[in-house]
Amino acid sequence: MVKQQQSVVIGGGIVGVCCALYLQKEGHQVWLIDPAAPGDSTAKWSCGQMAVSEIIPLSKPGILKRIPGWMLDQTGPLALRPAAIPAILPWFLRFVANARHSRIESIAQAMASLTHQVYPDFASLLALCPDKTLLGQRPVIEVFDTPRGLAAEREHLELREQLGFRAETLGADDIAALEPALAGKFSHGVLFPDWCAVSDTKGFIAALTDAFVQQGGTRIDSEADRILEANGLANGVLLRDGRSLPADHVVVAAGTGSRRFFSTLGVRVPLTGISGYQALLPQPEVEFRHSVIYADGGFCFTPMTRGLQIGGTIEFAGADAKPNFKRAEIILQKARKLLPQLNDTAKEFGVGHRPFLPDTKPIIDRSRRLSNVLMAFGHGQLGLTLGATTGRLIADLAVQRPTAQDITPFSAYRFMEGDRT
């Protein structure tokens, strides 16, 4: 009789739960470890978009030119705490190095190979969930204050089109028809027909977690302390509460929390957490029909079942820094300036620590030190988008099946080998 494979997934956010579900599809008995409640993760405090053509690295030249001004203006969409500068400087130099045109094209091509698979990869997981409205059907809109902002994006819109993604230019009448709340406020925009948004980021992850449990998985509300090993392989995971779980395979998918396992994995990865702030308005009294990115404002509006979520401002705060919810208040002030009728009664602020790598590509790889440990972290702002695709690829690695997409660009060792991938 063939022994059932046992897998432990460290990290119960969107990437972790998708890895767990895909391992279940391979017949594995799976334990999912996370001390937080299901859905209470970084992706909860995201814009909730399936941003399938958001394949241009964050270091694109248009952004780099604006960063100095944003940093001088602490009300801007990007902030840097002075205490974080020494630690973030080496990371930032690597980040800037990816602004070369050749690097941007290479990164975009690699990311597109993953994002083209997002919807079919999620379909098989969402089929396990009773709620068929978890993933919305309406496209996403981006609006600009001036034609200059749209023109600055033209080159990157063309690259997206070359890689198989669509975008439609919008004028004032188009924007007003799609979003009456914004009528007369914007004359320049883009519609992304390939994108959509989830109805509730927290509920989306919680529903997938419920499906995992219903399929026979076990979610453990604890923290992984360390990966146990013997004879050159991982053989279990020790929990913070002293329990240990046996494992034939271990998946590290803990976002920024993955860093504490790097020495065990034998990797040196410049993973940093960038804080993304959100404001949730349970009764906004303004209707949005689509998720709308306000490019020049540096934030977006996303209608969800639990209210209107407004967010996107980011902050380099340093490891273990306490949240600065003044950043969320700044977002809300800007939103009220645009839409004075917003009702912010019973507002809720939140922060998610986006796990970013300098080239904004995730890590989807196998540890060379412990070959039965797999790595799935560093998705930046695309954790929600790439969760299912990452899960499928991790399952392929676990059963030693050739992956349908080339995952060489997502190697954990690219930073240790001159970034040649």
Please state which of the ranges 39-43, 77-81, 103-107 shows the lowest mean pLDDT: 77-81
The token pair that represents 35 in the structure block:
């001390």
* Cα–Cα distance, 407 to 403 (Å, whole number): 8
The answer on pLDDT for 285 being more than 80 is yes
Task: From residue 366, give the alpha-carbon distance in Å to each of 20, 29, 32, 375, 409.
Answer: 16, 20, 19, 6, 13
Give the ranges where 215-261 is alpha helix by DSSP (H).
none
Q: How far is CA 340 from the centre of its chain?
A: 30
User: Structure pTM?
Assistant: 0.94
**What percent of the chain has pLDDT above 70?**
94
Domains of the chain listed by start with CATH number: 6-43+203-270+360-410 (3.50.50.60), 55-101+131-197+271-356 (3.30.9.10)
* Cα–Cα distance, 360 to 330 (Å, whole number): 26
pLDDT of residue 290: 97
* Residues contacting residue 401 through CB under 8 Å, at least 6 positions apart: none
The answer on pLDDT for 220 being more than 90 is yes
pLDDT of residue 421: 43
pLDDT tens, residue by residue, 365-378: 999 999 999 999 99
pLDDT of residue 256: 92
pLDDT of residue 157: 93
At 69, the pLDDT band (50, 70, 90 cuts) reads low
pLDDT tens, residue by residue, 95-140: 888 888 889 999 999 999 999 999 999 999 999 999 999 999 999 9
